[in-house]
Amino acid sequence: MKKRLDQLLSSLGYGSRRELKSIIHSGAVTIKGQRVSKPDTKVEHAEVHFRGEPLDPPEGMVIMMNKPLGMVCSHDDTEGELVYALLSERYRQRSPKLSTVGRLDKETSGLLLITDDGKLIHALTSPKKRVFKRYEVSLAEPMNGEEAELFASGTLMLKGEKSPCLPARLSVYDEQHAALEITEGRYHQVRRMFAATHNRVTALHRSRMGGLELGELKPGEYRLLSAEEISLCSEEFSS
């Protein structure tokens, strides 16, 4: 779909419409290799280059980040240092805004998706869709051996909740380390599930969402996902 050049560039975070007017006049923008001077020229995203580079992806982009410990998944910086601060200035200036797909706690690390696609956020966070997330868990105490059955049963009631947790899968590595796969995203869910067994989570890291693995990204690093990878994230629990 064709858009006004200045509108397209400002929605992608390249500057305000006013700033872009002079940037475009300076000859920094080309369309199919030709310099353009009119900000209201109608263009296709793919034909535009900015200072010789193709544009950032159009609306519908999805970023995978390895969320570091200590940062918050919020747009409100009174809650602490925001994960968005790790993104490039241009990504931070985009409209529609980039938002996290659900949240990880401040003290949880690992796979975090960030997108401007509201429908995708809904599709991946809706409890009706049983998209599973895998968490690597370290515990303060040895497990009692009954956790896997309890978590799988679909009967575990968390304090203050009206319905039990949906069945979850526990893979035990050793007495104090395990991976837990859940399909919901209740507040502090993994920590509260272990609290219900009189244990305490000392470290929590999300390693996977559906068929998408975090892979080699270091804490604080991020990268764009391909269309194929985006479809992997919505893989549901097989029972």
Q: Which residues are catalytic?
A: 105
State the nearest-atom distance from the C-beta of 108 to ligand URA, in Å. Answer: 3
Cβ-based nearer residue to ligand URA, 191 or 208? 191
108, 115, 183, 199: residue in contact with ligand URA (rule CB under 6 A): 108
Cβ-based nearer residue to ligand URA, 94 or 191? 191
- Residue 67 touches ligand URA, criterion: CB under 6 A: no
State the nearest-atom distance from the C-beta of 118 to ligand URA, in Å. Answer: 21
Binding mask 18-37 for ligand URA (x = CB under 6 A): --------------------
* Residue showing tokens 């996977």: 208
State the nearest-atom distance from the C-beta of 192 to ligand URA, in Å. Answer: 7
Q: How many residues bind ligand URA (CB under 6 A)?
A: 8
Footprint of ligand URA on 170-209 (CB under 6 A): 188-191, 204
Q: Which residues bind ligand URA (CB under 6 A)?
A: 104-105, 108, 188-191, 204
